[in-house]
Chain A
Amino acid sequence: MEYKPIRKVVSGNYAAAYAALHARVQVVAAYPITPQTSIIEKIAEFIANGLADIQYIPVESEHSAMAACIGASATGARVFTATSAQGLALMHEMLHWASGARLPIVMVNVNRAMAPPWSVWDDQTDSLAQRDTGWMQFYAENNQEVYDGVLMAYKIAENVNLPAMIIESAFILSHTYDVVEMIPQELVDEFLPPRKPLYSLANFDEPFAVGGLATPNDYYEFRYKIAKAMEEAKKVIKEVGKEFGERFGRDYSEMIEKAYIDDADFVFMGMGSLMGTVKEAVDLLRKEGYKVGYAKVRWFRPFPKEELMEIAESVKGIAVLDRNFSFGQEGILFNEAKGSLYNTSARPIMKDYIVGLGGRDFTVKDVKAIAEDMKKIIESGKLDREIEWYHLKR
């Protein structure tokens, strides 16, 4: 069948819901939380209209939502859920159970600032705080990437038997409408065959125990297996991303999307929707003669260390844009990126710009101002300060 995309004008949340529908998820367990609510409302609507044969499990909290997803996934079903901020934090304990039991659950997290003070706007600290739970993390730049990300995530997750989180920005994507090219169901089915589970609780011929005790004699080996699966995931991500490109025209074979790297003095590095703004700004800056590049980190877990090392070899500086912060240290992406380059000889000057926390606007004008600052640093070779709270009212 020839690929003819179905164009729909949808919000990021609806893009997520359609992707779940097209992935033929069998079980959804979720609790509504702003700004995620419209994802699961849309899925409920699909079910009510007879469009989908999905078991919908209403629960009383996100902790239970993830618990239900884990149980369902352990039977071999394809499972979906979605959450935001405090809801994700409430899931934290269960996130470990999902990855530890090697269940390829896919979840959309709508990035939202953590309270207090109460905020429903965009901020990456909620998902980045789940860094060490053994979940893969994909940061979508736009609604199209939300849709594509969910479909690819199932294929990758079910290949390496680890759960994956697709992350989109609160309101900037979740509630903003844009054209999304959707894939006809038959072609999605070809790309994403039914799940072949590692084990299934529904297999009554071979009973076994899950979640049992591992003494110090056994636990260590299981952790190593997860570490190895994460490493393996890098290869699978690139293969699946390439296949997606060949089939549907949008290539995701790079874990870091790059532009103008080769002759750039410095690059902007960041994740998620803010990189759309940077993309536009970099095009304008190039026209004005700035030698700037663009490096969008798509996958934060597994971390694309090798790709980052390649970029570092060709540039003099990296401006990291962090819409997040780890108190007592620095921006989380900055911390990861810097750490990845410690054992190499290529160590460009790096500066951490803390931007857009709690939904503060981040515009093309801001990117230009940061470019000006970075230019000075590169020319003088002197880093004035490592961390800059860019928007602070002074």
Chain B
Amino acid sequence: MNTLFGKIKEEAKQISPKSVEEYPEAPISLGTTLINFTGDWRTFMPVIDESKCVKCYICWKFCPEPAIYIKPDGMVAVDYDYCKGCGICANECPTKAIAMVREEK
């Protein structure tokens, strides 16, 4: 993701606590979901088959997070840092371009 948002996210990942000592004493944070990634409880992950996609952006509209974004080339992509794996995008896609795949962690 070659955007400012992408850069902020990368920086956030760098500073996010790695050990219990690095956590703040109280659960306060310097940002909301900008640095708190909500996409870590998925079981199934959406995988987009770009050859079937007709760029209707229905998935982009329906994603409740929203974890789907439109790339500069007009193609849709999933931001897995926020995708909770609900499968709404796969269900709504008119060309069945999105498959829900069990995620190995």
Contact = CB atoms under 8 A, between A and B. Distances in A.
Contacts of A214: 27, 36
A221 B36 contact: no
A212 B37 contact: no
Contact of A224 (B20, B26, B28, B30): B20
A224 B19 CA distance: 12
A102 B26 contact: yes
A221 B23 contact: yes
A218 interface: yes
A199 B26 contact: yes
A161 interface: yes
25 contacts: A101-B27, A101-B28, A161-B25, A198-B25, A199-B26, A199-B28, A208-B28, A209-B28, A209-B31, A210-B26, A210-B27, A212-B29, A213-B38, A214-B27, A214-B36, A215-B37, A215-B38, A216-B40, A217-B37, A217-B40, A218-B36, A222-B23, A222-B27, A225-B23, A229-B25
Contact of A102 (B25, B32, B37): B25
Interface of B: 17, 20, 23, 25-33, 36-38, 40-41
B26 A161 contact: yes
Contacts of A229: 25
A222 B20 CA distance: 8
B36 A215 contact: yes
A225 B40 contact: no
A30 B37 CA distance: 38
Contacts of A101: 26-28
Interface residues of A, number: 22
A211 B29 CA distance: 9
Contacts of A218: 17, 23, 27, 36
A270 interface: no
A302 interface: no
Nearest to A208: B28
Nearest to A224: B20
Name B's interface SS.
Answer: loop
A215 B26 CA distance: 15
A322 B11 CA distance: 55
A212 B20 contact: no
A210 B29 CA distance: 7
Interface in A167-208: 198-199, 208
Nearest to A207: B30
A213 B31 CA distance: 11
A356 interface: no
A225 B36 contact: no
Contacts of B26: 101-102, 161, 198-199, 210
A96 to B, nearest CB: 12
- Which interface residue of B27, B33, B37, B41 has the most chain A CB atoms within 10 A? B27
B32 A212 contact: yes
A101 B17 CA distance: 18
Contacts of A212: 27-29, 32, 36
Interface string A209-244: 111111111100110110001000000000000000
- Which interface residue of B26, B32, B33 has the most chain A CB atoms within 10 A? B26
Nearest to B32: A209
Given A208-B30, A221-B20, A225-B20, A213 B25 contact: no
A161 B26 CA distance: 9
A193 B70 CA distance: 56
Contacts of A76: none
B20 A216 contact: no
Given A102-B27, A209-B30, 18 more contacts: A100-B27, A101-B26, A101-B27, A102-B26, A209-B29, A209-B32, A210-B26, A212-B27, A212-B36, A213-B33, A215-B37, A217-B37, A218-B17, A221-B20, A221-B23, A222-B27, A224-B20, A225-B25
